[in-house]
Amino acid sequence: MGGAKRGASAVLWEDKIQWHTLADGVDVNAMAWTKQAQRVLSPAAIGFVAGLHRALEPERRRLLAARRARQAAFDGGETPGYLTGEEGRAARETPWKVAPLPEDLLCRRVEITGPISDAKMVINMLSRTADGHRADAAMLDFEDSMKPSWHNVMQGVENLIGAVDGTLTHRKPARGRQPEKLYRLDMDDMPLLMVRVRGLHLDEVNLRIDGAPVSGGLMDFALSTFHTARKLIAQGKTPKYYVPKCEQYLEARWWNRLFDLVEKGLGIPAGTIKATFLIETLPAAFQMEEILYEFRSHAAGLNGGRWDKIFSDIKALKEHPDRVLADRGSISMNRPWMKNYVLQLIRVCHKHGAFGMGGMAAFTPGRTPERRAEQTRKVVEDKTFEASIGHDGCWVSHPYFIGPAMKPFARKNQLDVIPDLPEHPDLLPKSTPPWTMDGLRKNVRVGMAYVKGWHQDIGCVAWDDLMEDLATLEISRAQTWQWLRHGITLDGGEQVTRPLVLRVFEEEFEKIVAEIRTAMKGYPEASVAKEIERFGQAREDAAHIFTEETFRPFLACATDPAGLLLEERRARLRRGTCAF
């Protein structure tokens, strides 16, 4: 089952935590109270987080309850739609603009993103490539590309502090004929530094305030601003953030209140903090104008998060037999509802003076020159389309593609481009082919590769020449679940059933085993066996999650308690941590 419900004999891992008191009403998992955590969670930082939690947690809980009610309505046959009554009228019918954008936010042609917990990746994102290219902005990520283990979160905060101070380094030891290499930052040649926090739904169970877990996103934002916002301002830079997975305008209002309270608590001018909201859920796609209005004093723009959006399309309408989506690989801006969604985003943003950012090029460089040339061609084609319709910039997941992605964006921004669209363009996904065995196999392979990384506290994996993060795992499991739910007949004539899905897991696992043996030829047999064992565990867990009876809204809605052994973490993942 997807929900985290207590049975008569159920024991949640949270019940086993030994708590260490940090302040009145503030406790930390004793296993999480490491020397690193003690540096990050100073008494002043703890007080800062606690004050924000107490002011905002009741409303967060109400917003999550509203999500449950909204999904129940969708499951009952309703579909998302535009707001047309009094609700949000001021956003739609009065003239307004976002606050003027600071100079360092006016050119964001290419943004690169990766996990904030990996020092080497952070340095590479903030540096020039070997051929001299550099992104305009780098988004250091606490969310989809980072497994939210306690260590990763604490390491992420320390890496952020080092990036802002310019002291972050990474030492790669000598290996074979390769000498030791030291990675360091050039403070005089860095892109705009941004941070993406975790979503509204995710509980950080290792820190509780007045008996309740703190919001992961609130904690990320509070600690990031507490440790770096005033330093950035002193450097003449804008504290800039990304907010994921917003579903409607009242959630944007919650985040804006958090921004206001943080500015007040830090004693920095109102409106100093700037944010871009990812429009990556189907309900939010219908409320872009209302969402932007709610944080207009802090708005840098909106971003079309295409991968999570596809996941949300499936999740929101999973019970609708006439909305069963095609192979994930066949869905891009070529689908009318996807193109309308990004055109609407650009129109809303530019109408009100904000940036409308494009999507992700998720390639990792292929192993052959021919493969890399084909990938580059696809990146240029995708980004040429995005630039042609008015996006101000785009995302890449690997430095190799910064140069190709930059080329189509000839101007600093395109704020003057306002697409011509009907007042209410059609944003609802359609049930169209293809549904193929190859698509099912791709979903299964992604599931095993990602869950294997998850068990090793890795939140993004380079797999089959793509960077697969949590968003693409969510698409893969949601699509497989939806096909199974509705008994879709694949193009080859086979109906998707649970035995078929489990058979594909077994077949793809055997292929992966063969690939491992080829790739690890000459390695000690114990090392090969360990890698195969890890994939075997991932196969079992992913197959369970992909075929569970009740669809969970997210892979996880709560972090793992620090100190859990692998088997305990696996059991917790299979049980699910979403109570909604």
Residues 395 and 442 grouped into a single domain:
no
297 within domain boundaries: yes
For residue 131, the one-letter residue type is: D
Average pLDDT over all residues of the chain: 95
pLDDT at 128: 96
Distance CA(258)–CA(280), nearest Å, equals 21
Same domain membership, residue 503 and residue 384: no
399 with 456, same domain: the answer is: no
pLDDT value of position 286 = 98
Band of residue 4 on the pLDDT scale cut at 50, 70, 90? very low
Looking at the structure, tell me whether residues 189 and 129 fall in a common domain.
yes
Give domain status of residue 28, yes or no: no
- pLDDT band for position 9 (50/70/90)? very low
pLDDT reading at 97 higher than 70: yes
Q: What is the pTM of this model?
A: 0.95
Co-location of 394 and 443 in the same domain: no
Both 446 and 392 in one domain: the answer is no
- pLDDT beyond 80 at 530: yes
- Judgement on whether residues 168 and 115 belong to the same structural domain of the protein: yes
| 31 within some domain | no
| Residue at a domain's end among 363, 388, 406 | 406
Whether pLDDT at 1 is above 50: no
Query: What b-and-e string marks burial along 17-32, b requiring 16 or more CB atoms within 10 Å of the CB?
Result: beeeebeeebbbbeeb
pLDDT tens column, 295-331: 999 999 999 988 899 999 999 999 999 999 999 989 9
Owning domain of residue 374? 46-406
Domain CATH for 117: 3.20.20.360
Tell whether 525 and 388 lie within a shared domain. no
pLDDT above 90: residue 236: yes
pLDDT at position 175: 85
| 313 domain residue, yes or no | yes
Query: Residue range 446-450: average pLDDT?
Result: 96
- Nearest alpha-carbon partner for 448 in 523, 380, 535, 515: 535
pLDDT at residue 5 above 50?
no
**What's the pLDDT band for 579 if we cut at 50, 70, 90?**
low
pLDDT at 12: 57
In terms of C-beta density within 10 A (0-12 exposed, 13-18 middle, 19 or more buried), how is residue 454 classed? buried
Indicate which CATH number applies to the domain containing 452. Answer: 1.20.1220.12
Q: Is 76 exposed, middle or buried (0-12, 13-18, 19+ CB in 10 A)?
A: exposed
555 and 470 in contact (C-beta within 8 Å)? yes
Residues 488, 401, single domain; the answer is no
Residues 6+ apart with CB under 8 A from 292: 91, 98, 252, 277, 299, 302, 348, 349, 352, 354
- What is the pLDDT averaged over residues 245-273? 98
* 44, two tokens: 């002043």
- Choose one of 386, 406, 426: the last residue of a domain: 406
Section 408-431 average pLDDT: 96
Q: Is the pLDDT of residue 21 over 70?
A: yes
Alpha helices, DSSP H, located in 108-248: 119-125, 150-165, 216-234
Q: Is residue 383 part of a domain?
A: yes
DSSP state of 511: H
Residue 78: inside a domain: yes
Total structural domains in the chain? Answer: 2
- Say what the pLDDT of residue 13 is: 62
Do 544 and 397 share a structural domain? no
Helix (H) or strand (E) holding 301: strand 299-304
Find out whether 547 and 502 touch, Cβ atoms under 8 Å: yes
Report which residue type is found at 278: L
Dist CA 395 CA 113 (whole Å): 7
**Is the confidence at residue 2, as pLDDT, over 60?**
no
Bridge partners of 193, per DSSP, are 138
487 inside domain? yes
Looking at the domain assignment, is residue 39 inside a domain? Answer: no
Q: Annotated catalytic sites, by residue?
A: 196, 469
Instruction: Round to whole Å and give the CA distance between 249 and 259.
Output: 15
Same domain, 396 and 469: no
pLDDT band at 177 (very low <50, low <70, confident <90, very high): confident
How crowded is residue 121: how many other Cβ atoms within 10 Å of its Cβ? 24
* 392 lies in the same domain as 538: no
**DSSP-derived 3-state class of residue 343:** helix
How far are the Cα atoms of 124, 162, 172, 174 from residue 180, in angstroms, in the given order?
Answer: 17, 21, 6, 4
Per residue in 24-68, pLDDT (tens digit) is 999 999 999 999 999 999 999 999 999 999 999 999 999 999 999
Average pLDDT over residues 143-158: 97
Find the mean pLDDT for residues 407-428. 96
